Structure formats: structure tokens, C-alpha cells
Structure 1
């Protein structure tokens, strides 16, 4: 194994440990009034806290990624595909978290956009240049970045409202008409992204599930009728889009196979 690939993989490992450590501290040990995982800065599009459980799944898969990268079968995708971008992603994500804890939502918004750019680059490189060669490639290389890509998009939407919309001080607060319109537009964008994942991005079901999960979280958290029911209805529609290719593949596909065998 050459020195440069090995150094990159070791750097990836330390970046992962750093990112995970910061997130664990913020989620379990940081003052709840500062941690974004406890809705310290509520807006009218903020989802319920359970939505942030997606982070745990992503970190678990990324843990598998930094282990699997040391196997020869992963070297090309990691060294030539992911390259140094995972290190940048880990650092930027940590800075975003720190800025939110310091109540700097506009700077946090800028940083999360930069993070999204890095994640999107890795996502498209892996999807179109480094197709999975086996089940381990799917689980430990492609899946974490697919989930991460969708989750970063959700964070971008949330961070935009944190930076530029009024803070929701109390659960019973109601938005003004302009805020309500922009929140509904944000929810529509999230649902449209689900459709894009399923219909355009080679049936990326995992990414679509993440955003659908966020839509359910928004519906659970927001009491304003316009926002609540828009999120609820679009969550149901997104669920349909997620299930449609699965049903088509496993139900209609099996029926076509039976028809072919029966002549």
C-alpha cells in the first residue's frame, strides 16, 4: 500500500472520530439550550427532535466506511473518488455545529452550504464514476454518502430559516403570512427533492426516505394548520414515491417472471 493512500485513510479515520466525538458531546453532554439537537433555535419549519436520529445511522455507516476503506476492494473509490473531501466535510460539519451553539445562524448557514457542496461532489462522483462492485460497497461507501447528501439538504433548508426567519419562541406561536408562505415553499422543495431522488437519481430510495422522515418530523412539530397539514400530506405523497419503485420491483417484477415461466 502506497504512503499517500494510507495517509489519506488514516486522516479519514481521525476526521470521523473528531466529527463523531463533537456530535456525541453536543447531543448528550452539551447544555440543551445550546445544542441544535434539542431544538434550541426553533423556527416554523424545524422538525421534531426524533428526526435528528438520522445522524446516528449516518455516523454508524460512516464508521463502517472508515473501517472498510482499509480493504483493497475499497481503495479506488476512497482514494480516487472520495479523496480529501470527507476530511473537509467532517471539519465543516463541526464548524456548523459550533456556530449554531454560539448563536451565529447566518455564519452557520454559509458553512452548511459549503458542506453541502462537498457532500454533493462526493455523492455524484460515487454514483456516476464508482459504481458498487459488491454488497459491501453499497453498504459502507455508497449508503452513508447517499444518506448524508439527503440529510445535508434537510439541514440547509432548516439553517436557511434559522438564519433569515423569525425565531419561534413558544410552541403556540403563529407565523405571519409571509413566513407561512416561505415555509410551505420550503416543504414543497423537500417533497420535490424526494421525487427527484426516486425518479432521476437512479432510484435513490435511501436519500428519499431521509427527506420523507424529515417531512413527518415537521408535521409532528408544527402546530400551525397550514404548515402541519401541508407537511403531513406531502409526507404521505413522498411515502408513495418511496414505496412505488419497491412495489414495482418486488411485486410486479415477480408477476412478470411468473408469467414468463408459465409461457
Structure 2
């Protein structure tokens, strides 16, 4: 990639403030007059101060930000997202560190507040306006500010508690324990924001889990604080898995629904045919309907049967999703499992879709979208086979078939009770319905696969496009 000198003043400034912040942290931690303990830990402890290892998060953040100040020379995306706000954040962060290290904890909150605002501005701009198009965008632009945003929030909490609830020689008071537990719960609750409202920002959420585990390790004077931190840390860490689980589930559900919508249109033909034949042949073999009922009563009778057919169709439609889901993801061979061995395709970066080329290359059955895309003809064949079997069984004219037992049979019984003149023809009417259903069953067995010819090519493209949009 060629070097991009656009907006070079801000890029140079980013390097300067980055080096200044890094130097300040290194000096504060390892300076000769400071000993070897981090000032974050050794100074101004409270009852939610985490263990020293927690502050190694700075190492990760500095490494990634170092990559960012190099990466900015090869793309203008960094400037578009950060502008001069990274300079503001770094200067304010350095000012906070100076005040914190010199025991001005209350006044340290002022630059920390502005640093938090600057980092938050960059963070929200990245989330709302700048998707990650490449892996480098993820590693050196989105990831560092996700971690930085979570970490500067942690520093804010640590600073506030250092002011409000410093440690006491005789241990924490009841009020301090309650305050600490409340603070830990507040930190844990913000994870919901990262996962639910920040496009599944796992990195930011894991920073908070890391902090909670650090508090668990450090705070041993109070069992309530100690174990609350552990419980919340485990809960937060587990909650960060939600985006991965739900993305997989969302893909499976959306694809199953997409297929169900299409096959609902195809199978609806048979329910329409059933209704048409009932309207035409329900009174077959009986005296003229006008001698048994008025026209209004005849219309009500047929309308009641039409309503029963509509309910039967609705019941069938509701079952389509589960049938199709099971066909794809439960029945063998099922489209789940690892897709990396053997390697066929590379996982695209966050925010980037799979391609039709990936669909072509993913030539073995596993759980990723390209595999589903590649084997769509086989999937459709499996779905048709199962749906044909199930629909034929529902339409069977036997006394135990679903459409008859649960819909048409009860509707006919209601009709016979309300129309005494038809009661003497009960056997004939039941027989007519059974014969009509048997005819529909034969049509399904002979023609449902043929209905596959009505599958429109654009439906394939719609489902493939949907599939490839999932990670």
C-alpha cells in the first residue's frame, strides 16, 4: 500500500501524543523514584481496586494504538474516524496520569472526563459511520478503541471510588461494602450496552470482565465484594458469547424462515385446491341442496368448511419453519460443525459479507453460510421430500389424518348439529370429505415435487444473498 500523506499534520500529532502517553505510563510504572509497582495499583486504593495484573491491559492497548499510528499512513480511515480527538484523548489521559500520580485524585477526574469524552466520540463514530472493511481495520482501528473505551471507563470507576471510598486501616464499613457491590453491579450492567447496543462489541465487554476478575483477586477483606466480583466476572464473560451464539442462531432461523416462506407459497396450492373441491363436491350424492336448506344456510355451511381449510393451512404454515429447520440443521447430514478442516474459504472481516466465490469453493457440508449456499440444490431436494411426505399424511382421507381429525371433521359435526336436515346424510358427507382428501393426497404424492418447477430463480438468489450476509 502506498503511503498516504493526506492530513499529515494530524497524523504527525497522533505519533507525538502516542509516544508521550506511552512514555508517561512507562515512567510512572518503572521510573527509578517510583519503584516497580504501577501507580494505578500502589496509589489511592479503594475497595474495588483490581489486582496489579489487571493493568497489563494498558500493554495491549498501547501495542494496538502503536499499530494504529503506523496504519494511519496507509489509509485515511484513521483520520476520518479519529480526526484530532485522539490527540485530545492522549493529552487528557497524560494529564490525568500526572495528577493521579501526584495524589490529586479529585482534580484528576477533570482531565479523565475529557479523555473519556474524546475516546467515546471516536468509539461511537467507528460504530455508527465506519465499518471494518479489512482485517487491518479490525485490528488497528476498531479493536484498539473498543478496548480503550472499556478501559477508560474502568479508570473512571477506579478514580471515583478512590475519591469516595478509600481503604481504611480497620477494613471496609458496611456502607463501603454496599457501595463497592453497587459499583461492581453497575460495571457489569454496562456490558449489556456493549453487547446489545454496540453491535456486539465483545472486546469492550471483555475489558470489564477482566476488571471484575482483577477485583476478585485483589479484594479479600470483604467476602461480599470478593465473591460478587467473581460471580459478575463469570456472568459477564459468559454473556460476551451471546453475539456468537445468536449470530449462528439468527442465520439458521432466517434461512429456515426464508425457505418456509417460499414453500408456503407452493404448498398453499393444495389447500386452495382442497377448498375448491369441497365447494364443488361436498353435497355430491345428496338431493338438491335447495330442498334441504336455504341458499343462505348452504352458503354458511360451505363458508364454515372454507374456514376449517384456512385453519388447517395456517397450522401447516406454522409447522413449516420447524420442519425446514430440522431438515437442514438436525437431520443427517446436518449443516453444523467446523468449516476449517479442510480449509476452503477465509472468514471475511467483521462487516464484510461472504461472496459467491466462497459459495462455490465451500464444497463440503459444515456450519458456515457458504456451505449452505453451495449445497442449496441438495437442501431443496431434502425439503421437498420431507414436505411431500408430511403434507400427504395430513391430507389423507383416513379417520386419523390431521386435516380431517382436527379441522374438517369437527367443522362437519358442527354443521350437522346446526342443520338437522343434513344429519341423515352424515355418512355420505363424511365420505365425500374423505374422498376429496384422498384425491388431494394423490395430487401431493404425484405433483408436489413437480411443483418445485414453480420455484423461481430469483428465490435462489434471495436466499443465497441472505445466507452470505451472515458471519
Is residue 54 of structure 1 aligned with residue 131 of structure 2? no
1:37 CA drift (Å):
3.2
| Distance across 1 between alignment mates of 2:100 and 2:114 | 15
**Counterpart of 1:15?**
17
Is residue 112 of structure 1 aligned with residue 116 of structure 2? no
Structure 1 residues 220, 133: closer, same or farther in 2, change over 3 A? same
**Counterpart of 1:168?**
167
| Contact 1:50-1:217 within 8 A present in 2 as well | yes
| Contact 1:205-1:242 within 8 A present in 2 as well | yes
**Counterpart of 2:187?**
190
Alpha-carbon deviations, 1:21-73, whole Å to 9, x = none?
A: 111111122514985234222110100010000000000000000000000xx
Alpha-carbon deviations, 1:142-198, whole Å to 9, x = none?
A: 110110000000001000011222x2255xx42112211111111011111112211
| Distance across 2 between alignment mates of 1:160 and 1:97 | 14
1:251 CA drift (Å):
8.8
| Distance across 2 between alignment mates of 1:104 and 1:41 | 10
Aligned runs of 1:1-263 on 2, under 5 Å?
Answer: 5-29=7-31, 30-32=33-35, 35-71=38-74, 74-75=75-76, 77-165=77-165, 167-168=166-167, 173-223=170-220, 224-249=222-247, 256=329, 258=335, 261=375, 263=379
Of the structure 1 ranges 155-164 and 239-248, higher mean CA displacement relative to structure 2 is found in 239-248
- Give the structure with higher Rg (CA): 2
| Distance across 2 between alignment mates of 1:138 and 1:47 | 28
| Distance across 1 between alignment mates of 2:42 and 2:68 | 29
The alignment partner of 1:7 has SS state of helix
Structure 1 residues 34, 220: closer, same or farther in 2, change over 3 A? closer
How many residue pairs get matched?
257
| Distance across 2 between alignment mates of 1:38 and 1:156 | 14
Gaps of 5+ in 1: none
Of the structure 1 ranges 43-52 and 104-113, higher mean CA displacement relative to structure 2 is found in 104-113
| Distance across 2 between alignment mates of 1:228 and 1:253 | 39
| Distance across 2 between alignment mates of 1:3 and 1:241 | 42
| Distance across 1 between alignment mates of 2:67 and 2:117 | 23
Alpha-carbon deviations, 1:192-241, whole Å to 9, x = none?
A: 11122112211000001111000000011001111111111111110110
| Distance across 1 between alignment mates of 2:238 and 2:98 | 37
Which has a greater percent of helix? Answer: 1
| Contact 2:14-2:86 within 8 A present in 1 as well | yes
The alignment partner of 1:258 has SS state of coil
1:94 CA drift (Å):
0.6
| Distance across 2 between alignment mates of 1:130 and 1:90 | 21
